[in-house]
Structure 1
Amino acid sequence: MKKKLKAGFWELIARIVLKNRIVILGIIVLITIFLALQWKNIRFSFTEANLLPDTHIVNKEYNAFLDMFGEEGNLIVVGVKDDTFFTPKAFAAWDKLMNDIKSQKEIDLIVSISDLKKLQKNDSLQTFELVPFVDQSKTINQEYLTSIKKELLEKMPFYEGLLFNKKNGTIRSAIYLDKEIVNTLHRKDYIINDFIPKIEAFEKETGIDLKVSGMPYIRTLNARSITDEISLFIGASLLITSLIFFFFFRSFRATLISIIIVIIGVMWTFGLLGLFHFEITVLTALVPSLVIVIGIPNCIFLTNKYQQEFIAHGNKARALQRVITKVGTATLMTNLTTAAGFATFIITQSELLREFGIISSLSIIALFFLCLIIIPIYYSYQPIPKEKHLRHLSRNYTKVFISWIEKTVKYNRRYVYVVAIFLFLVSSIGAFKIKTSGSLIEDMPKNTGFFKDILFFEKEFEGIMPLEITIDTKRKKGVMKLSTLKKMDELQKTIEEIPELSKPISILNLVKYSKQAYYNGNPEYYDLPTSQEQSFILGYAKNATKDSKNNIMKSYVDSTGQVARITTFMRDIETGNMKKIETKLWTKINKVFPADRYKVVMTGKALVFEKGTKYLLDNLITSLLFAVLLISLLMVFMFRSFKMVVVSLIPNLLPLMITAGLMGYFGIPLKPSTILVFSIAFGLSVDDTIHFLAQYRQELTNNNWKIKKSVFATIKESGISMFYTSVVLFAGFSVFMLSDFGGTVALGGLIAVTLIFGMLSNLMLLPCLVLTLNKSLANKQEFIEPKIDVLSKPTEEEDEHLKQ
């Protein structure tokens, strides 16, 4: 009775699909139009990936920092290292460039040599005044420009590390964007359409190569690179997988419908992004290509089954019905396991991965229904397959490959185990060599101009990734107390001793500059005031910290004077080094700032990203175990045999270990992009296992429970489809290696390699395990009637036809 109900369900689906073809196609068209209308809600991410959950303490501290001081990543730096800079022509062009940029409403503040201000004592007002450093009327004189260059490098330590590098004379300007636009589309429009053209015009006029960087600039160009690669991936994956499909089937009709299906799937993916108001990030940008790569194997499996059925009985109508009734459940379960591999990211509590998991898993399930419905409907309107379209089922190269697999399993089973154990042991050693990376820029496209500029600023100014330290004095106006300033000075000296960090910026710099200004600009007095000097120098400095559009220090103390901010910039460093830096800084902080009098917090975008990477690594095992558990439960539900679950897991875990070993030996670190490899590859690799074991169970019933005969019959029956789909998946994921993003290249290459090992493991190690572990089987005990008939048994009529 249960069998009839199960078979009846898919027969009902087949009947509905084939008898209501126009209506169903109309529904698909309407859904596609509805989802296409959601594209208007698609937006690109304007910030770096935040890998931490909102409730994480690091995120809370970072958000509290933003609430107090505003967006930290609003600084754009423009640098120049050219001997011709301090010449009348170049300096005039520079002055014009800075004034043009400053005149835009998107700019909050510019600190540049051309309009640099220096502190000057005003005794009558008991304050310091900001007076022009450069006399513009004299800039046409070469000697004057040479003199101001000398004065800048030798007498302005306040600006060292911010505007110039004293060692090699590199100059830069600090451009602070309006914080209200930093995380909006307006920022992108301004940088692409206004800021960059001005930079290019200066370079064309003077022949001087400008270097540009800073988080707003990097974010904008990085997002543009992601956008450009979406079309590249979609086009390349569609082209390569379609060519492979055509090579296998030699049919324009079969290739055309496969292309149409995956294109609809891509349209639905973009529609789901818009419907849920999810951002396009470096991860969700991959989903449309994943839909193509996973969709084509679905089409291969269904088309292959249709042609096999047609050869069996020559009845097109019955063949179309059997495509749904006989492989509907198998295709559903393989897509569910694939979707499960992606869905595991939903439990990480990281918004970035959660959105990726939701969109990818929903897209895969939607794709299953598109394939299962459209392919039978399409072929119902097409002529019967021609002989040339069926030749691929008996091609020599597939016969040779399958024959080699059979011989290896039959005569060299012991060697298969030896090789498997050897690969496992060697890979285990490699896996222990894997390093982690929490770098913000490591995965950025390295052949782009903006990445080369990042390296320039790392070399000349010790990096551009902000690290922030806030010091809460727990009392109003506590920051300007000399005791607090001395403690900050100790901490800043420790920061300066760390080679990966730049010279820090804080209110302390202004206080030191105030003392220098009080002593008529003598750089020898760039230091903290003594206890005797503090009353009048700090009085002057306090007046100088009042809000002013030209006051660079206005964002380094909160409005009450209670909380101070120290900003430094980091080089691109490994996660392990970041931990050492944190330890050194916290050791100093805990020593200098008593917890009962001060509350010190370390934060900043660079630290948040590093902590996010560590969070993902800590949850990697949990995520992978969840994928294994989820897919194991599906296998139990299908086969109701614990032994078969064990047998199915071993061939799929071995490729993951091999991949981990390769990462260790080739120095590919664990990072947000490569962490995805294991769950995705496991979900895809298990598909072959399901096909094999489902076919094996059917062959057992056909061959009177003769295990060896059933195993080799399964290799012949399922081997070709497993080979075809693995080749498509390998080629499809290899497309990601065209990316300029290192993480995407690693993701595509590692998944492709894993799937090839997964195919070989499922075609060789899996049947060997089945033969070994089922030697004692002489009855049906290991194959209790499953909850789901993954493959329906042939009817008596079909059996008779096949015998004939």
Structure 2
Amino acid sequence: MSRKSARWGLVIVFLITVFLSYFIKDLRFNYVFEDFFPVGDADLKYYMEFREKFENDNNYLLIGLENRPSIFEQTFLSKVDSLSEKLRQLEHVNSVVSLTTSERPIISQAGFYRLPYVHIEEPERYQQDSITIYQSPLLKGSLVSNDANAVAILLKHDELTSKKASDEFASTTLATIQSFNFDNYHVAGKIHAQKVFVSKLQEELLIFLSASLILIVFFLAVTYRSWWGVLMPLCVVLISALWILGIIGAFDKPLDFIMVLLPTIIFVVGMSDVVHIMTKYIEQLRRGNSKISSIKTTFKEVGLATFLTSLTTSVGFLTLLTASIKPIQGFGLFTAIGVFVAFIVAFTLIPFSLLLLPRPHISKKLIHRSRWFKVLSNLFLKVLKNARWIIWVNLILVVLSIYGISMIRINTRLIEDLPDDDPLKQDFVFFDENFGGSRPFELTVEANGDHSIFDLPVLHQIEHISQYLTDSMYAGSVVGPHVIVKSLNQAVNGGNSNAFTLPESNYEKRQVGKNLKRLLKRNDDIASIVTDDQKLGRISMRVGDIGSELSLSRTRRLRRYIQETTDPAIATYKITGTSNLIDKNNEYLARNMFEGLGIAFAVVAMIAGLLFRSFRMVIVTLIPNVIPLLAVAGIMGIFGVTLKLSTSIVFTIAFGIAVDDTIHFTSKLKLELDKGKSMLYALKSTYLSTGKALMVTSIILSGGFLTLILSSFGGTFYTGLLISLTLIFALVIDMTLLPVLILHFSGKTRVEKKRNEG
């Protein structure tokens, strides 16, 4: 390659960088709750049909307002009423329900009229009002807390599909609440949580990039102790990051809480490529070779291995395409692209730059006198002397890991990733403790045969299920067709709280039936509970954020209860809703993880098979990379780190990156064997040649991922910590167990066989 070609190469790299950097302006942050539904699931299809017939069960905000010692204070109730009215006037608001807007329907000979539950302007009636309120199942624990210290406002809003519209509405609503200067207020709901999450994502992306940059500069300065040894690798990772961010912007892919990991990963993976190149180049210069000769040797010996490691790392990320969740699929695809982007940048920018730069001043001291050579020589001898102990220690580690794995739990919460002192998490906990929860939970009931939803046999079944939901699932604010009929029965009985039951006497049945027909004709609100043909109804409630493990267990018990206590000839029931779909992700986590790892194992096995054409070497290559995964999984189980959406991707990512060391080691071993060396001599030469690069890259990779522990999201924290641990385990095992396995289980290589035959 001529200097002119190198200059043109740098110009092309520069132009591509400018072109892709243009699209970075199109990057946007987003956190769309519905994106985390399991793709292709039958329940998802049913839920989409449910939304078409009724409404999106997540288009609401819960507003909690505290007042101590009691909510029954005129100034407070007046402010609640004014806030309710002001919220109702906001754009995109469909309805607002609060204690001060709730009324009891009365049906008498004088006609139909409504009475307020609380008479705001008449404080002398508060005591009687409180008795009436706490006798109402529709209000107690739903709009008023059991201790009478808080009220809730339920605000339903339009479907807001764009981030801008959602953020503006959330901000306007929050500003409206703050304008009334309540002592304590709490807000929960999808659009509010999304706004908070996206804001945190933007902050943390900057933190991760800054921390990674500082860490990389530090390691490079310590390792190479020269300006070009710092600047050149830094240019590679920065340009790689610009390229992949530009590609993401060009494809209009939003950055969610998983995608913000990508720049950090590209930083550390790109640095791994650079370290292997730079270490080999310096080694060749130290041997007294010319600059051109050193460049050629470096790219001949490191090029194939680095390509293979980029391939295996990309495959590790591409296996995430087997996941059932779109954000994980997108993360896997774009990170895999980013890994090869880093490879392309490293193997164009570095050779072009090295060719144009003057030969660096490198100490020509003999290789065998260097500090690294002495350390690695002593370590290699200790590995050979303690081969049996190394095998036994790893066997014990595997046994302990399997024990830990048996303790792993699959569990996730909607806001578990946030720390306990985060205001958003505290708001959700407030609603869990005072109002039955903030997670929507839905059932549909379909009347069969000649029955309609409002037939008493159907309503009695619904009533029994509703009672089970309240008693066994601790659901709050259960609403369904039975509530409509019970409210009408209460109305025809003069508003008596004791009459909030299904009609029993013939008179009640006639009166309720007559008024129900009138209600169905003029009340559009019922359309959100019952379809026009009165064959399909909805039972809606809120539950606490108890975790998917417990939620799925309760859901299974609910299904059994329905199966055992209801007659399908009368009506059939189906669980649906957004919370059910999020919980169902747990059923896919383990399967997706094993599918991804299986694909990654197969690719690594294929590469090892092509390199050595030996089944034994395939096994030898896989074992050192399986043990670190088992060890980290065992640590998760022993220390109670649950397997969830964020931590489930750790294993495929870690395997794809950790196997790089093994590929570099075995690729170098093959080159040494092809030179006609014996297995022991080739193994020693490989150990001494690759040892420094493996250690340096592993430290940089681990340090880079450790920057993720700065995250306030628990999932991101554990992702960084667990991947770092996996890489450290992989390094230790590659430097100890791998040589032992190669020496004792590889058998004669093709090169040795040819030499013996000769």
- Same fold per TM (> 0.5)? yes
* Mapping for residues 740-755 of structure 1, pairs under 5 Å: 740-755=712-727
Does the CA-based 8 Å contact 2:488-2:516 persist in structure 1?
Answer: yes
Q: Secondary structure at the match of 2:33?
A: coil
* Aligned partner of 2:743 among 771, 781, 794: 771
| Corresponding residue of 1:195 | 173
Match of 1:118 in 2: 104
Shift in CA distance, 698/323, structure 1 to aligned 2, threshold 3 Å: closer
Look up the match of 1:239. 214
Cα deviations by residue, 1:268-295 (Å, 9 ceiling, x for unpaired) = 2222223333332222221121111211
Q: Which residue of 2 aligns with 1:63?
A: 48
Asked whether the 8 Å contact 1:439–1:575 carries over to 2, the reply is: yes
1:304 to 270, 273, 279: 279
Q: 2:134 is matched by which residue type in structure 1?
A: E
**Aligned counterpart in structure 2 of residue 315 of structure 1, from 290, 295, 304:** 290
CA shift digits 1:658-705 (9 cap, x unpaired): 111111101111112111111111111111111111222233345x43
User: Paired residue for 1:610?
Assistant: 583
CA distance in 2: counterparts of 1:656 and 1:368, whole angstroms: 25
Distance 1:389 1:340 in 2: 40
Pick the aligned partner of 2:644 from 671, 677, 702: 671
Shift of 1:753: 0.4
Asked whether the 8 Å contact 1:41–1:277 carries over to 2, the reply is: yes
1:172-571 map, 5 Å: 172-178=152-158, 180-181=159-160, 184-191=163-170, 193-202=171-180, 205-206=181-182, 208-387=183-362, 396=371, 398=372, 401-474=375-448, 478-532=452-506, 533-545=508-520, 551=525, 553-571=526-544
CA contact (8 A) 1:466 1:570 kept: yes
Matched residue type, 2:256: T
TM-score of the pair, normalised by structure 2? 0.93
CA distance in 2, matches of 1:220, 1:605: 18
What's the offset of the Cα at 1:531? 4.8
Tell me: CA distance 1:518–1:33, structure 2 relative to 1, closer, same or farther (3 Å).
farther
Structure 1 residues 104 and 413 mapped into 2: Cα distance closer, same or farther (>3 Å)? Answer: same
Residues 311 and 716 of structure 1, relative CA distance in 2, 3 Å threshold: same
Of residues 524-533 and 403-412 in structure 1, the stretch that sits farther from structure 2 once superposed is 403-412
User: How far apart are the structure 2 equivalents of 1:325 and 1:779?
Assistant: 20
Q: Are 2:599 and 1:619 aligned? A: no
Deviations 1:311-353 (CA, angstroms, capped at 9, x unpaired): 2235223333444333222211111111111111123354232
The answer to whether residue 737 in structure 2 is matched with residue 758 in structure 1 is no
Q: Work out whether residues 50 and 608 of structure 1, in 8 Å CA contact, stay in contact via their aligned partners in 2.
A: no
Unpaired runs of at least 5, structure 2: none
Q: Unaligned 5+ residue runs, structure 1?
A: 1-14, 785-804
Partner of 1:109: 95
Counterpart for residue 633 of structure 1: 606
Change (3 A) 1:475 1:464: farther
Cα 1:59–1:388, aligned 2, differ >3 Å: closer, same or farther? farther
Distance, in Å, in 1 between the alignment partners of 2:552 and 2:60 is 26
Paired residue for 1:796?
none
Q: Secondary structure at the match of 1:291?
A: helix
The one-letter code matched in structure 2 to 1:164 is V
Cα shift at 1:777: 6.0
The question of 1:732 aligning with 2:696 is answered: no
Match of 2:13 in 1: 28
Question: Equivalent of 1:94, from 66, 80, 88?
Answer: 80
| Residues 1:698 and 2:683 are matched in the alignment | no
- Cα 1:574/1:448, change in 2 over 3 Å: closer
Give the drift of 1:260: 2.5
Give a deviation string over 1:123-169, Cα, whole Å, max 9, x none.
Answer: 455xx444544555x2xx6545x447614533433222321123554
Compared with structure 1, are the counterparts of its residues 734 and 124 closer, same or farther at alpha carbon in structure 2 (3 Å cutoff)?
Answer: same
Q: What secondary structure does 1:279 align onto?
A: coil
Q: Residues of 1 paired with 2:367 and 2:701: CA distance?
A: 19
Task: Tell me the SS of whatever aligns to 2:502.
Answer: coil
Q: Which amino acid aligns with 1:195?
A: T
1:115 aligned counterpart, secondary structure: coil
Residue 258 of structure 1, CA deviation: 2.3
What amino acid maps onto 2:584 in structure 1? K
Structure 2 CA distance for partners of 1:289 and 1:773, relative to 1, 3 Å: same
Structure 2 counterpart SS, 1:298? helix
State how far apart, in whole Å, the 2-side matches of 1:195 and 1:541 are.
35
1:563-582 paired onto structure 2 within 5 Å:
563-582=536-555
Q: Quote how far apart the aligned CAs of 1:548 are.
A: 5.5
CA distance in 2, matches of 1:111, 1:723: 62
CA-based RMSD of the aligned residues comes to 2.8
What is the distance in 2 between the residues matched to 1:167 and 1:92? 20
User: Which residue is equivalent to 1:644?
Assistant: 617
Q: Which moved more, 1:342-351 or 1:726-735?
A: 342-351
Deviates more, 1:342-351 or 1:331-340: 342-351
- Give 1:97 shift: 2.8
What one-letter code is carried by the residue in structure 1 that aligns with 2:220? F
Aligned partners of 1:263 and 1:292 also within 8 Å? yes
Residues 73, 182 of structure 1: 8 Å contact kept: no
Once the two structures are TM-superposed, the CA of residue 543 in structure 1 deviates from its matched residue by 3.2
Distance 2:373 2:260 in 1: 39
Q: Could you tell me how far apart the structure 2 residues matched to 1:404 and 1:157 are?
A: 77
Q: Verify: 1:76 aligned to 2:61, yes or no.
A: yes
CA distance in 1, matches of 2:594, 2:607: 20
For 1:310 and 1:684, the matched residues in 2 are separated by 29
2-structure distance, mates of 1:392, 1:742: 46
Counterpart of 2:619, as a letter, is: V
Instruction: Summarize deviations over 1:608-628 as a string: whole Å, max 9, x none.
Output: 112122112223222211110
Structure 1 range deviating more: 28-37 or 446-455: 28-37
Cα pair distance change 1:299/1:465, threshold 3 Å:
same
In structure 2, give the amino acid aligned to 1:68.
Answer: K
Aligned residue-pair number: 754
What is the TM-score of this pair, normalised by structure 1? 0.88
Aligned-pair CA distance for 1:392: 12
2 CA distance for matches of 1:671 and 1:478?
A: 42
Residue type of the alignment partner of 1:36: S
Q: For residue 422 of structure 1, report the CA deviation from its aligned partner.
A: 0.7
* C-alpha distance in structure 1 between counterparts of 2:651 and 2:89, whole Å: 51
Asked if structure 2 preserves the Cα contact closer than 8 Å seen for 1:340 and 1:683, the reply is: yes
54-63 vs 356-365, which moves further = 54-63
Q: Which amino acid aligns with 1:340?
A: V
- Distance 1:696-1:614 versus aligned 2 partners, 3 A rule: same
CA distance in structure 1 between the aligned counterparts of 2:43 and 2:511, rounded to whole angstroms: 40
Partner amino acid, structure 1, of 2:168: D
Contact 1:337 1:686 in 2 (8 A): yes
